[in-house]
Amino acid sequence: MHISEGVLSASVLLSGAIVSAGGTFVGLKNLKYDDYPKIALLTSSFFVASLIHIPVGPASVHLVLNGLIGILCGWRSFPLILIALFLQGVFFQFGGLTTLGVNTANMAIPAVLSYYLFKPLLNKNPFLTGFLAGFFSIIFSCLLVALSLFLTEYHFLNIGKLFFFSHIPVALIEGIITGFVIKFLKKIKSDIIGG
């Protein structure tokens, strides 16, 4: 879900940078020393999952795990995703430095929303909580990417639609993976996810 450099307008880039800076500030403010191992593990998981691209027409799809990150980290998702995207941009030229703010916002906003929308369901049904968080996060991230493209240029609307529909299978897969991970963590290490 990386938007490359040289595609977005300056106003979209600036808006994304402001949102990501604000979210990162809130996330870092809530960060505790005991959170570092969990944040490091999730950052590396996000980094690796996002590197495995599957071509679909002119685009490619990949796992993101932002629903899982959102359930486990809340607002701390912003700095976590920012670091992983920065490293991907520097080492592999996925996305880029000018689009870092937009790409971070497009993936971290759905993660934080998943935390507030679905974490209250955790004690009732951990698998459903994870599935909904994983599915919703991918779908909403796709909508934000499509919106970013549309706000730059109206002609990008068709690309945004293709991008959205190509990610529906990924959303289902990510929902299932996140559901099983949350169910597993709730069963064996519930202090990680709370509830």
pLDDT band at 169 (very low <50, low <70, confident <90, very high): confident
d(CA 169, CA 132): 14
Name the average pLDDT for the chain.
86
Return contacts of 114-117, CB within 8 angstroms, 24+ apart. Answer: 114/66, 114/67, 114/70, 114/71, 115/70, 115/71, 115/73, 115/74, 115/75, 115/77
The answer to whether 163 touches 145, Cβ cutoff 8 Å, is yes
CATH of 10-193, one of 1.10.1660.10, 1.10.490.130, 1.10.1760.20, 3.90.1150.10: 1.10.1760.20
| High-pLDDT (> 90) share of the chain, % | 42
pLDDT of residue 59: 57
Token pair 């730059």 in the structure block, residue:
152
The whole-number pLDDT of residue 46 equals 84
Q: What is the pLDDT of residue 90?
A: 86
pLDDT for 142: 87
pLDDT of residue 109: 96
State residue 54 phi and psi, 5-degree precision.
-115, 120
Domain map (residue ranges) of the chain? 10-193
pLDDT over 70 at 63, yes or no: yes
Q: Scan for tokens 């559901």, then name that residue.
A: 179
Tens digit of each residue's pLDDT (9 = 90 or more) over 101-157: 999 999 999 999 999 999 988 889 999 999 999 999 999 998 898 888 888 887 777
* Over residues 79-108, mean pLDDT: 88
User: Is residue 83 very low, low, confident or very high in pLDDT (cuts 50, 70, 90)?
Assistant: very high
Whole-number pLDDT of residue 164:
76
